[in-house]
């Protein structure tokens, strides 16, 4: 995990190195100042040497300025290194998410990916900055201050040691309990993000079901949980400051008392006592810094794990060693195919599927919801890999193809299709970035999308909102079909893609396909018999198996399920075709 993350520091190694170096410079400057101050008192004030006061004062000023410079450089390089590190982490995650297969996507919820890309990265960024600046500075300034103090007076230095030990124990105890709460906070963040994400993406459904109050309640609960946990954690952290103050003032008191005795017995000078008091502050402040570093490290540990998970996730569906770069034809064959979601571990969704579709054939698929129609076709463009058996396109196992080549030739209009923000042209050109305006228009004509696009004031330059929010369901489906057509695929798969289109337009689209792209294998999943009945052959799915495969007439004769669907949709009193435009 550490390796995965540190690899992302890459071009920010230099600032990452310069930050602690600058901090070391700052510490040295800070450590010199108390010594000089002591000398001013002892030799300048007590010795009555004014010019010594001035020259040492100037030296102190120069050293303080140098310290300031180092401090600023430390801050500058620290910010650069940590922000750069965060940028690389985000990029590495995003890049890897793009390679995810469908089953990888099933594995991570979108809200958790968003948390990982934002909150978790910010945590790491802050922790990294802190570590770079404090992890070296803290211990170093503590050790140097301790040595300097011991050189001046070993007796007084022992007071520090006791204070450091006591305060250290207290901090360790506090951190243990605080961390537990912080860990819980991050888990709750996921819940909160999930609640927001779900609500915002489905806000229309929430409104139409008047579920706002329920959603507000759900959000409040997640939000309240975080509030409570933070309160508990911060309450404990709040105790750190008083403890710190008690230690500092306790030390000052003890040192002043012991120091005063020593000054009277002439074993310590006033200037030395002043230096010791300054070191006392230094040591305890460093301890505090160290404690903060520890808190940050443990806090970011959970974040680091979650980020590494995303970067390390390997896409299950990858290109083979020597991929086939050409799809010979549009034939499809399933041989003894079994398939289960959840990386083959779930319950089997498809069992022993054998079927063969000729190139250029039009095939309809019909069956009850959940009978695994979508699952069946998702194997053809290798959105998922089979659990057993093989799927062949153009006579070659889909796992042997270059993924891009395969998916260009097998164009799928997914059941859960979506459009992206951009103009209609932009959206269409997802299918083929080089398509000319004329080609875009032809694809829209085939998908019967031209009729409504022409009516829009800006035509093909109309802006589509994110997710296609400003077009109707049927319009969106037709744009998605046009987009898929622009790929000029050998196999076109429509997964329930005309469900929101009226039957007359649906028929027109099918007719256009038959006339204009007769060589393309067409696989059409539909709920309406009318959408599939004029296909060359029809597959009837039942609970993950093929119950029948043949022409409309054959299925009517031999397949009970098909007959039942047919009768329910065309029988007396049925208004299945009420929307046909005559």
Ligand X SMILES: Nc1ncnc2c1ncn2[C@@H]1O[C@H](COP(=O)(O)OP(=O)(O)OP(=O)(O)O)[C@@H](O)[C@H]1O
The contact set with ligand X (CB under 6 A) reads 106, 341, 346, 349, 367, 369-375, 415, 496
- CB closer to ligand X out of 78 and 367: 367
Beta bridge pairs of residue 338:
388
Question: Which of the choices Mg ion, ligand X, none does residue 571 contact, using the CB cut-off of 5 to 8 A by kind?
Answer: none
- Residue 401 CB, shortest distance to Mg ion, in Å, is 24
- CB closer to Mg ion out of 306 and 373: 373
User: 333 and 391 in contact (C-beta within 8 Å)?
Assistant: yes
- Residue 75 CB, shortest distance to ligand X, in Å, is 48
| Angle formed at CA 571 by CA 569 and CA 575, multiple of 5 degrees | 60
- CB closer to ligand X out of 370 and 395: 370
- Residue 343 CB, shortest distance to ligand X, in Å, is 10
- Residue 341 CB, shortest distance to ligand X, in Å, is 3
Distance CA 503, CA 576 (A): 9
Residue 397 per-residue DSSP state: E
Question: Which of the choices ligand X, Mg ion, none does residue 369 contact, using the CB cut-off of 5 to 8 A by kind?
Answer: ligand X
User: In the window 413-432, what residues touch Mg ion (CB under 5 A)?
Assistant: 415
- Which residue do the tokens 């922000």 mark? 83
N residues, the chain: 582
- Residue 561 CB, shortest distance to ligand X, in Å, is 13
Each residue of 147-175: b (16+ CB within 10 Å) or e?
ebbbebbeebbebbeebbeebeebbeebb
Question: Which of the choices ligand X, Mg ion, none does residue 164 contact, using the CB cut-off of 5 to 8 A by kind?
Answer: none
Q: Among residues 71, 86, 87, which one has the least CA distance to residue 128?
A: 86
Q: Among residues 109, 538, 79, which one has the least CA distance to residue 306?
A: 109
- CB closer to ligand X out of 32 and 541: 541
Question: Which of the choices ligand X, Mg ion, none does residue 71 contact, using the CB cut-off of 5 to 8 A by kind?
Answer: none
Distance CA 193, CA 181 (A): 19
Q: Does 530 bind Mg ion (CB under 5 A)?
A: no
User: 529 and 566 in contact (C-beta within 8 Å)?
Assistant: yes
Which residue number is nearest to Mg ion in terms of Cβ? 374
Distance CA 285, CA 268 (A): 25
- CB closer to Mg ion out of 374 and 427: 374
Judged by phi (left if over 0) then psi (alpha if -120 to 50, else beta), residue 571 lies in beta
Q: Among residues 351, 355, 398, which one has the least CA distance to residue 375?
A: 351
Q: Which of these segments, 394-402, 410-418, 469-477, 573-581, binds Mg ion (CB under 5 A)?
A: 410-418
| Angle formed at CA 428 by CA 422 and CA 434, multiple of 5 degrees | 105
- CB closer to ligand X out of 198 and 301: 198
- CB closer to ligand X out of 349 and 446: 349
Question: Which of the choices Mg ion, ligand X, none does residue 375 contact, using the CB cut-off of 5 to 8 A by kind?
Answer: ligand X
Question: Which of the choices Mg ion, ligand X, none does residue 341 contact, using the CB cut-off of 5 to 8 A by kind?
Answer: ligand X
- Residue 378 CB, shortest distance to ligand X, in Å, is 8
Cβ neighbours, 10 Å, residue 77: 24
- CB closer to ligand X out of 371 and 411: 371
Question: Which of the choices ligand X, Mg ion, none does residue 364 contact, using the CB cut-off of 5 to 8 A by kind?
Answer: none
Q: Among residues 117, 145, 152, which one has the least CA distance to residue 33?
A: 145
Q: Does 374 bind Mg ion (CB under 5 A)?
A: yes
Site residues, Mg ion (CB under 5 A)? 374, 415
């Amino acid at each position: 995990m550490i390796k995965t993350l540190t690899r992302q520091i890459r071009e920010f190694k230099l600032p990452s190195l310069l930050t602690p170096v600058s901090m070391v410079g700052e510490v040295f400057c800070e450590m010199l100042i108390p010594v000089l101050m002591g000398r001013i008192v002892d030799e300048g004030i007590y010795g009555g040497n004014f010019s010594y006061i001035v020259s040492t004062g100037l030296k102190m000023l120069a050293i303080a300025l140098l310290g300031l410079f180092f401090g600023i450089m430390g801050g500058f390089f620290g910010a650069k290194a940590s922000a750069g590190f965060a940028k690389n982490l985000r990029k590495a995650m995003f890049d890897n998410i793009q390679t995810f297969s469908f089953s990888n996507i099933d594995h991570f919820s979108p809200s958790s990916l968003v948390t990982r890309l934002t909150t978790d990265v910010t945590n790491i960024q802050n922790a990294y900055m802190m570590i770079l600046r404090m992890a070296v500075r803290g211990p170093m300034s503590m050790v140097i201050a301790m040595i300097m103090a011991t050189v001046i007076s070993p007796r007084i230095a022992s007071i520090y040691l006791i204070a450091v030990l006591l305060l250290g124990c207290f901090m360790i105890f506090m951190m243990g309990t605080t961390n537990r709460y912080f860990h819980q906070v991050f888990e709750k963040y996921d819940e909160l993000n999930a609640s927001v994400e779900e609500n915002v993406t489905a806000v229309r459904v929430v409104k139409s079901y008047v579920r706002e109050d329920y959603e507000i309640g759900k959000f409040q609960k997640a939000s309240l949980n975080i509030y409570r946990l933070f309160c508990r954690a911060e309450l404990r952290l709040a105790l750190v400051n008083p403890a710190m103050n008690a230690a500092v003032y306790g030390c000052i008191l003890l040192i002043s008392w012991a120091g005063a005795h020593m000054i009277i017995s002439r074993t310590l000078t006033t200037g030395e006592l002043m230096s010791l008091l300054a070191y006392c502050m230094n040591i305890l402040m460093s301890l505090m810094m160290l404690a903060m570093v520890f808190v940050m490290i443990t806090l970011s540990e959970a974040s680091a794990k979650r980020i590494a998970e995303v970067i390390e996730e390997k896409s299950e569906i990858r290109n083979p060693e020597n991929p086939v770069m050409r799809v010979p034809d549009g034939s499809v064959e399933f041989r003894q195919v079994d398939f289960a979601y959840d990386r083959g571990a779930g319950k089997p969704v498809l069992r022993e599927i054998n079927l063969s579709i000729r190139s250029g054939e039009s095939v309809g698929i019909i069956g009850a919801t959940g009978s695994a129609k979508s699952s069946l076709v998702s194997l053809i463009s290798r959105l998922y890999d089979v659990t057993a058996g093989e799927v062949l396109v153009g006579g070659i196992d889909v796992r042997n193809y270059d993924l891009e080549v395969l998916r260009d030739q097998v164009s799928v209009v997914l059941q859960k299709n979506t459009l992206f923000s951009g103009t209609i042209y932009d959206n269409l050109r997802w299918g083929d970035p080089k398509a000319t305006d004329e080609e875009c228009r032809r694809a829209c004509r085939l998908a019967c999308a031209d009729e409504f696009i022409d009516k829009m004031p800006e035509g093909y330059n109309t802006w589509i909102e994110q997710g296609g929010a400003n077009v109707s369901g049927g319009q969106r489906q037709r744009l998605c079909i046009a987009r898929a057509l622009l790929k000029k695929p050998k196999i076109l798969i429509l997964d329930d893609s005309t469900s929101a289109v009226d039957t007359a337009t649906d028929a027109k689209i099918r007719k256009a396909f038959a006339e204009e792209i007769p060589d393309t294998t067409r696989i059409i999943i539909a709920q309406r018999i009318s959408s599939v009945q004029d296909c060359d052959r029809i597959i009837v799915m039942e609970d993950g198996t093929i119950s029948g495969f043949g022409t409309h007439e054959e299925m009517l004769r031999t397949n009970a399920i098909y007959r039942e669907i047919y009768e329910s949709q065309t029988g007396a009193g049925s208004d299945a075709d009420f929307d046909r435009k005559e």
